[in-house]
A and B are shown apart, each in its own frame.
Chain A
Amino acid sequence: MAIFPDDPTPDEATRALTSIERMKQFGLSKGLYSRWFAAAVSSWSAAMAVATVYDGPLATWSVATLLIAGLVALGAWRHRVVARVRAVHGTAEALAIVVAAPLVMLGLGLFAAQAFDASRQWWIPSASGAVAGLVLFTVLELLRNSTRRRVTGRPS
């Protein structure tokens, strides 16, 4: 086997590979949203679903406040972004996320609003919010895990 004078020893190469893996994980942790971020977005959409379905006297104000808070948070988050993870999902998956997920949420909201109009059961807006939040959190977590797995070959 040809060993060149400048080549690292096997131990040095192993150490280099370890540090490469560590830096990759660090880069990914900066580029990929955290579980807390997924939880915050899901909680926001759950609150939005409750406020939208519940058409009481303060519903409009609640929706407006949540929208403004969401926009402010989005603006602050854009300033904090220091890395963007590589796009590893295909067109079909992107379409499913961008089109199907909002449609399911909209369908759920409309169904819950009609059910609440018909029955005036107090738990319907809360239940629709809980379902919306859980569905979104699950989708975001699956997306985060599949991105991590495809980029590094490791689950989170």
Chain B
Amino acid sequence: MVTVPRLDPVIHAPHRLHICSLLTPLDEAEFQMLREALGISDSALSKHIKQLEDAGYLRLRRATLNGRRRTWAQLTPTGRQAFAAHVDALTEIASLAHSSQ
């Protein structure tokens, strides 16, 4: 019996999956950009970010530029590792479709 690698429940939720996908090629991204890309409210995004932060997958950085306060989000090394493992698991599951055909 082959064991399917388990999907990470923290990452698996669609919005959190999108947050991680967006942040993967980036060093960091601004909170507003994430909100616009996902098309969700500030509070909903904060909730998802908090869950990723609590899991140690994401960290926030607050900075001020010319008096304007901006919040930046970035994946931690643990978050990158967990996301890569999650994508591997999805890839393996998706490959079942090809092997069953």
Interface residues of chain A, those whose CB is within 8 Å of chain B, are: 1-4, 6-11, 13-14, 16-17, 19-24, 26-28, 30-31, 78-79, 81-87, 151-152
Closest Cβ of chain B: how far from A75's Cβ, in Å? 8
Q: Given A8-B93, A17-B94, A23-B21, do A2 and B3 touch, yes or no (CB 8 Å)?
A: yes
- B53 is an interface residue with CB less than 8 A from chain A: no
The interface size of chain B toward A, counting residues with CB under 8 Å, comes to: 34
Contact of A85 among B14, B27, B66, B68 (CB under 8 A): B27
Q: Cα distance A82–B6 when bound, in Å?
A: 33
Contact B26 A16 (CB under 8 A): no
CB distance from B73 to the nearest CB of A (A): 10
Q: Could you list some 23 contacts between A and B, CB below 8 A?
A: A2-B1, A4-B6, A8-B93, A10-B94, A10-B96, A17-B87, A17-B91, A17-B94, A19-B17, A22-B21, A23-B22, A24-B25, A26-B22, A26-B37, A27-B25, A27-B29, A27-B37, A28-B25, A78-B65, A81-B30, A82-B32, A85-B27, A152-B25
Main secondary structure on chain A at its contact with chain B?
helix
Chain B residues 1 to 40 lying within 8 A of chain A, measured CB to CB, are 1-4, 6-7, 14, 17-18, 21-30, 32-33, 37
